Structure 1
Amino acid sequence: MATNATSGAQPATENELRNNLSDPDAVHKETYPVLVLGALGVVYGDIGTSPIYAFREALHAASTDGSLLRADVLGIVSMIFWALTLIVTVKYILFVLRADNDGEGGILSLMALARESYKTRPRLILGIGIVGAALFYGDAVITPAISVLSAIEGLEIVTPAFTPYVVPITITILLALFSVQRYGTARMAFFFGPITLAWFLALGFFGLWHVFDDLSVLAAVNPHYGFDYIVRNQGTAFATIGTVFLAVTGAEALYADLGHFGRRPISTAWMWIVFPCLLLNYFGQGAFVLAHGEAAKNPFFEMFPPWALLPMVILATAATVIASQAVISGAYSLSRQAVQLNLLPRLHIAHTSEKQSGQVYLPRINFLLGLVVVLLVLGFERSTNLAAAYGIAVTGNMLVTTTLLFIVMTRIWQWRFWVAAFTTACFLIIDITFVGANLIKVIDGGWASLLIAILIVLIMSTWVKGSRQLQKKIGQGDVPLELISTKLAQSPPTIVPGTAVFLTGNPKSTPVALMHSLKHYKVLHERNVILNVVTAPSPVVRKSDRMRIEPIDDRFMQITLTFGYMERPNVPRTLAIFKAAGWKFDIMTTSFFLSRRSLRASPRSDMPFWQDKLFIALARSASDATEYFQIPTGRVVEIGTQVTI
């Protein structure tokens, strides 16, 4: 049976979907600029708001005694420049975005690619992927909190009277953001794209304006200044590197949101708009501090002229709300992949676009993300406090990405081993440095993101282990369908009129609902269909490929229905097509039999008792199959069975 659910969004025509979704980059020319603009609004919101706090926090880390040397400022600017260049431009834009899985990106997509290259499907790679996914969730809840908080704190510069209202205003904005997610990424991008474009242009404009305060800041392009800072300031260098990393947080969202817009629009937006504007702003902040050393407290907001301060605070607030969208939409994509890979129970997944398969909305994930984000704002209260919690999850995720990328390079791209090893070694040196620099912030707040990641790892590992144990338990009692049909033909039970449709995930085995129906009711319908519904990796399925029929005998037949991932499965309507083939299907004389398992924990389980309970709770939270397949509830018979795991 299918593992994901769909929304009420109406699918486009088959030809439209096939043209638009067969390749994530094969978009129509007239939609390409729209996708670039949408990528600005959804993908780059996170990294685009880093200038608000990244340079500020790096200055604070470097000036523990309250003083800053000219070489220190140049060193910080240099490290930020090369971090953006090497991590985002080289690693993600040039390499990681190429590792798409049928147009989808994200850590789980990369894990699936790496794992599929092995016939044995190593569990070690699965574990690495789970850890990476869990770390991304940690990033997904901290980003909205720190981004919006940092922008609202700009009101304190306008007037200190706003200080008591920073947290309430932040929570109000975040609640509004999560409440509109149901309208879909496409609609969000329509509104967010132009705002984000204005934001980046403003960053570039004011940054370029202040570069002329001290043109010597351009010397920071030389990596010598970054290395020189590290050598001269060994006591504070590690902490400063950890804050410099804030400038590249959001890079993982580029890959996670790959399915939303495609590689080319994301790359174009970065190279022509985002990257130049970010560099101009960071260099502008550096020049401003070199010319006005006393402004090191909050250079981003203080470098604006009085007439532009309030408008920029408002624009920054809008931009940080949009920044949250980058990781929120990435979390949706990641969750859908987790469901498809059976790392999470079946969730209600709403497809919100007919042109991009990756644009989805998950109500339950949205609620949980919103709840945790609000709790973080209430608990940390200041963006500076949250900065300590930020970075650990992102750096860990990037380290996992580099590890899996090496496997993809060698086993899928067929690169020479030494070329792949050298490339990933360069990335690993950077990743490990940033991981180490951020680990020192665990006590100061980094524990929050790690705690969230540990909880996600626990949930995913429990679901994977419990599902395997459940399948093993069920498989012990499997009876081949051909054996049952043969015995029933030899000694038929009482035959009743009508059609019975038994939904199953294993068409070769006798459905549990059929076994229990024969055992307790001792009757058999005139016609019996063993129905298996699968989801194809393509957006739509041709009508000729929709159904596969395998007659067993006069009473039984096996039917496989295949739907594309952009199609909403309607089992009764699809079965009605059989009328043209001479098979009499009448919904009023057809009963759909589903098996509903009641799970019980066993003291002899392979898992601890508490983990059994957690798996059972997760299984009960799975979406209802009747609603997903659009079967009229009046035609459904659910037969409950108890399974001790």
Structure 2
Amino acid sequence: ITLVILVGLFLVQHKGVAAIGRVFGPVMLVWFAVLVLLALPAILRAPEIVAAANPWRAVDFLLHAGWHVSFLMLGAAFLAVTGGEAMYADLGHFGAPAIRFAWFGLVLPALLIHYCGQGALIIAEPSAIENPFYRLAPDWAHYPLVALATMATVIASQAVISGVYSLTQQSIQLGFMPMMRVVHTDQDERGQIYVPGVNWLLAAATLTAVVVFGSSDALAGAYGIAVSALMGITTLLAALIALRWGYNPILVLAVNGFFLAIDAVFFAANSVKLFEGGWFPLLLAAAVAFLMLTWMKGNQVLESVRQTMRMSEATFLGSLASHPPVTLPGTAAFLTAATEGIPMALGRLLERSRCLHERILLITVVYEEEPVIPATERAQVTLVAQGIRKAISKYTPGMERVVLRYGFMQTASIPEGLQCAVASGLLPPEYLEDMTYFVGHEVVIPSPTHPGMALWREGLFAFMKRNAERTGAHFCLPTRQIVEVGTEIEI
């Protein structure tokens, strides 16, 4: 049943969640209301369980139960908070105030009451410890409760899946992962996206976990280690952000040090389950981290080789003087990662075809450390170096460098960015007429003669580069206006 539900969940991802998203809220309201209603009768039968909500009772138990028992209990009790980390999955979609309101106004009280209800039931009926959740409900309610629990699980899973899509998009824009196809599933909600490659990788990983472990009990070790490690990482990142924002370092270290100590204790308590499933999330995390580091390192090596292959400004000017090019009508836009110098595609075009368009744009897309850049601040247009401009003026009257700025939550569209430049008066409208986009297509060849990475790792990077989304598609360029200029590069 679990496999069928998971397959169905991943199969419908491409349709987006806008249509069914409207029922998510009401279903979850019903879910938490049912949790409270199930627990209240049991609490009324054993009201002393309410004392368990007092944190001092937990501290007192840990102090008097002995370190060995306390350590094991921390690992077991931690499973009650797994899922709390998913609150951050959609933080970029809803914002902190909405999540705080939902957590403190509904989720936390409902869960606290429900867990007290389960505890009260176990006090009254010790045999109920096998399955206290369903034992709280009358027999006639079991099947409806299974259906409701399944719906709530699917909704919670959808929140995490959507969060993975958003994180993937941001990782691509920050240069941590190869370019992938990102599909917007809603015209009104900018954050509703679908990443096909990630969807199927995630599906394969979750289906494998279900088959290998067989039950949620067998996955308890994986839950504990994954969530406790994630909470520790979140605390460290919160401290780094606070320091970057200029908060008092002593205050930052004191507050985050307190929470980090708690996270470390829980991680240590869960680490005893390393060989009982805890290895699974660590293995997945290590694999993903290795791929990301390989991609980043490979791009650094690739850029160092590019710098040796790029035509210098002096060589470019010398080529113009010795072999005057033919002037072509229209605008040529050259995509380049560098904000200075001559793009490789432009240099190769001049070498092979001896022609230049009457208008040339050197376009660079930059992702800022902000979620959204307004359209009015999208484009920056500057003149190329005066020496080049003067030398080519007889062949091409216009040659500008355009920097298009996007936030890490935005999808870069070069045509949209150029329209913003025209609307802001930075470019004449005629620059967008008869436009041809020249895009470099690099074929990476691993070579043992170049330092930087092991040969097998260079091969892995070349494979990732070969299977990354094409630059033109990634930046929403019109297919019929693209000319790819191929280059083989040994690294």
For residue 250 of structure 1, report the CA deviation from its aligned partner: 2.1
- More divergent stretch after superposition (568-577 vs 233-242): 568-577
Structure 2 letter corresponding to 1:376: A
What is the TM-score when the length of structure 1 is the normalising length?
Answer: 0.68
Pairing 1:198–2:30 present: yes
Pairing 1:379–2:221 present: no
For residue 355 of structure 1, report the CA deviation from its aligned partner: 6.1
Q: How many Å separate the matches in 1 of 2:337 and 2:220?
A: 46
Aligned ranges for residues 521-560 of structure 1 at < 5 Å?
521-535=353-367, 537=370, 539=372, 541-542=374-375, 546=379, 548=381, 550=383, 552-553=389-390, 554=393, 555=396, 556-560=398-402
Q: CA 1:313–1:405 in structure 2 vs 1: closer, same or farther (change >3 Å)?
A: same
1:286: which partner in 2?
A: 119
Q: How many Å separate the matches in 2 of 1:171 and 1:412?
A: 45
- For each residue in 1:364-404, what CA deviation from the matched residue of structure 2 results, as whole angstroms up to 9, or x when unmatched? 11111011101111111111111122111111111122223
2:482: which partner in 1?
A: 636
1:309: which partner in 2?
A: 142
Contact 2:184/2:193 (<8 A) preserved:
yes
2:254: which partner in 1?
A: 422
2:318: which partner in 1?
A: 487
For residue 406 of structure 1, report the CA deviation from its aligned partner: 2.4
Q: How many Å separate the matches in 2 of 1:592 and 1:224?
A: 66
Q: How many Å separate the matches in 2 of 1:257 and 1:420?
A: 25
Q: CA 1:286–1:337 in structure 2 vs 1: closer, same or farther (change >3 Å)?
A: same
For residue 487 of structure 1, report the CA deviation from its aligned partner: 3.1
Query: Which runs of no fewer than 5 residues in structure 2 stay unpaired?
Result: none
Q: CA 1:306–1:177 in structure 2 vs 1: closer, same or farther (change >3 Å)?
A: same
Q: Please list every run of at least 4 consecutive aligned residues from structure 1 whose deviation after the TM superposition is greater than 6 angstroms.
A: none
- For each residue in 1:255-308, what CA deviation from the matched residue of structure 2 results, as whole angstroms up to 9, or x when unmatched? 232101011111100111101100010000000110111111110111111122
For residue 538 of structure 1, report the CA deviation from its aligned partner: 6.1
Contact 1:260/1:356 (<8 A) preserved:
no
Pairing 1:603–2:434 present: no
- For each residue in 1:113-135, what CA deviation from the matched residue of structure 2 results, as whole angstroms up to 9, or x when unmatched? xxxxxxxxxxxxxxxxxxxxxxx
Partner SS, residue 641 of structure 1: strand
- For each residue in 1:201-252, what CA deviation from the matched residue of structure 2 results, as whole angstroms up to 9, or x when unmatched? 1111111222112011112133343234333254443232112111111222
1:497: which partner in 2?
A: 328
Contact 1:250/1:327 (<8 A) preserved:
no
1:562 to 404, 407, 410: 404
For residue 318 of structure 1, report the CA deviation from its aligned partner: 0.9
Contact 1:495/1:526 (<8 A) preserved:
no
Q: How many Å separate the matches in 2 of 1:309 and 1:572?
A: 54
2:298: which partner in 1?
A: 466
Structure 1 letter corresponding to 2:325: T
- For each residue in 1:614-643, what CA deviation from the matched residue of structure 2 results, as whole angstroms up to 9, or x when unmatched? 111111222112223443433322121111
Contact 1:549/1:557 (<8 A) preserved:
no
- For each residue in 1:462-512, what CA deviation from the matched residue of structure 2 results, as whole angstroms up to 9, or x when unmatched? 11111111111212333444x356435534423142233222122412111
Using CA pairs below 8 Å that are at least 6 residues apart, which structure has the higher relative contact order?
A: 1
Partner SS, residue 219 of structure 2: helix
Contact 1:350/1:361 (<8 A) preserved:
yes
Partner SS, residue 391 of structure 1: helix
Q: CA 1:633–1:545 in structure 2 vs 1: closer, same or farther (change >3 Å)?
A: closer
Structure 1 letter corresponding to 2:6: L
1:263: which partner in 2?
A: 96
Q: How many Å separate the matches in 1 of 2:26 and 2:268?
A: 38
Structure 2 letter corresponding to 1:628: H
Structure 2 letter corresponding to 1:614: L
Contact 1:513/1:595 (<8 A) preserved:
yes
Q: How many Å separate the matches in 2 of 1:299 and 1:316?
A: 14
Partner SS, residue 264 of structure 2: helix
Q: CA 1:206–1:219 in structure 2 vs 1: closer, same or farther (change >3 Å)?
A: same
Partner SS, residue 304 of structure 1: coil
2:436: which partner in 1?
A: 591
Q: How many Å separate the matches in 1 of 2:333 and 2:243?
A: 47
Query: Which runs of no fewer than 5 residues in structure 1 stay unpaired?
Result: 1-168
Structure 1 letter corresponding to 2:110: C
Pairing 1:253–2:253 present: no
- For each residue in 1:581-628, what CA deviation from the matched residue of structure 2 results, as whole angstroms up to 9, or x when unmatched? 3746542xx432211111011213321112111111111222112223
Pairing 1:324–2:157 present: yes
1:401: which partner in 2?
A: 234
Aligned residues: 473
Q: How many Å separate the matches in 1 of 2:42 and 2:144?
A: 18
Structure 2 letter corresponding to 1:487: G
For residue 434 of structure 1, report the CA deviation from its aligned partner: 0.8
Q: CA 1:479–1:191 in structure 2 vs 1: closer, same or farther (change >3 Å)?
A: same
- More divergent stretch after superposition (455-464 vs 323-332): 323-332
Identity across the alignment (%): 35
- More divergent stretch after superposition (442-451 vs 568-577): 568-577
Pairing 1:510–2:342 present: yes
Q: How many Å separate the matches in 2 of 1:286 and 1:371?
A: 37
2:309: which partner in 1?
A: 477
- For each residue in 1:508-564, what CA deviation from the matched residue of structure 2 results, as whole angstroms up to 9, or x when unmatched? 121111211222223333433323344564646446854625263422512415365
What is the TM-score when the length of structure 2 is the normalising length?
Answer: 0.88
1:159: which partner in 2?
A: none
C-alpha RMSD of the superposition: 2.7
